Structure 1
C-alpha cells in the first residue's frame, strides 16, 4: 500500500482561525503592556504639574553661602537635637530635646519637614523649647518617605539639616553638625 508523504502537512489544529492559537496572543502581550504603561504615564504627566524648583537661580545661589554660615554657626555652638516621632490613631506627635554644648537651649525653634517631591506636603512648625530644652508639637501622620528635616534658631542665626527616612519605622533621629559644617568658610 503506497503512502504519500506530505512534508508540510498541516495538523488538524492549524486549520483553526488565528485567534484560537496561543502564539499570536503571547506575541501581543508585550505591545499591549507598553500601550497600557504609556497611557498610565501620560495620565500622570498631564495630571500633576511640575514643581518649580527655583525662580531666581542667581539669588538662590547667593543664599547658599548664607545657609553655609548658619550651618557653621550651629557647629560652632555644638547644637544637637534629638527628635522622636510618635504616631497615634488621630495624628502624630513630634517631641524633641535641643542642647548646645551639652546644656539645654530654651527658646524659639523653627522646624521644617520637607517632602522630597511634593511641596504642598511640607510641614513648617514653630515650637518653643522649655528650660530643659524639651519641646513637642502635634502634626499629621507622615508618609513613609525620606523627609528633609531643617531646624533653625528663633533668630534664624543657626541651622541644622538632615534626612529622616520613614519616621514611622525609625522614630528616633539625632541631628548633629557634620565635620564639614564645622570647617571654616574659604
Structure 2
C-alpha cells in the first residue's frame, strides 16, 4: 500500500495558517498609511507658548468688558451680520473668525464692513453647518468677543466675553 503525499505547498492547511499573519501584516501596513495622512489638529506641541497665548486672549476679552461692548450676530445663508447695541466709536471693519471644533482645515476669517451705525456685514465663503466658535474683534485686535453656535440657526447669537 503506497500513499502518495502531496508537497506541503499543495495542501490547504499551511495556507490557512499563513493567511492569518499575512492579513494582519497587510492591515497593519494599511493602518500606518492612513495614520500618516491624518495629523490630529487638537494636539499642541508647546504647552507653555499656548498657555501664554490663552492669557493674552483673556486680556482681550477683559478689554471688551471694560469697553462695555455688547453685540449679537446673525448668520443667514452665506452672510454674517454683527449688530452692536450702541455705537462705541468702532472702526469701519471688523474681523470675524470662524473656528471649527475639530477640523482646523475648515477655519477661516472674514472682514465685516460697516453697514449703518451699529451693523457690520460680511459674506461667508459657503453656507455653514455644525458646531462653530466665532470670534469678533476690531482691526487692531484691541478687544475680542466670542460665541459658540450650532449652525444653521434662525435667531441671533449673543457675543460675550
TM over 0.5: yes
* Cα displacement (A) at 1:95: 1.4
Q: Is the 8 A contact 1:93 1:136 kept in 2?
A: yes
1:141 aligns with 2:131: no
1:94 maps to which of 49, 56, 80: 80
Query: What stretches of structure 1 move > 6 A for 4+ residues in a row?
Result: none
Inter-CA distance 131–138: structure 2 relative to 1 (3 Å threshold): closer
TM-score (norm 1): 0.60
- Aligned length, in residue pairs: 130
Name 1:184's counterpart in structure 2: none
* Cα displacement (A) at 1:121: 0.7
Distance 2:156 2:89 in 1: 19
Name 2:159's counterpart in structure 1: 175
* Cα displacement (A) at 1:109: 1.2
1:51 aligns with 2:46: no
Larger CA Rg, structure 1 vs 2: 1
Structure 1 gaps of 5+ residues are 1-41, 178-186
- RMSD after superposition: 2.6
TM-score (norm 2): 0.69
Distance 1:125 1:79 in 2: 20
Distance 1:175 1:52 in 2: 24
Q: Is the 8 A contact 1:106 1:129 kept in 2?
A: no
Distance 2:127 2:140 in 1: 28
Distance 1:53 1:98 in 2: 35
Q: Is the 8 A contact 1:105 1:129 kept in 2?
A: no
1:70 aligns with 2:48: no
Inter-CA distance 169–161: structure 2 relative to 1 (3 Å threshold): closer
Distance 1:62 1:124 in 2: 22
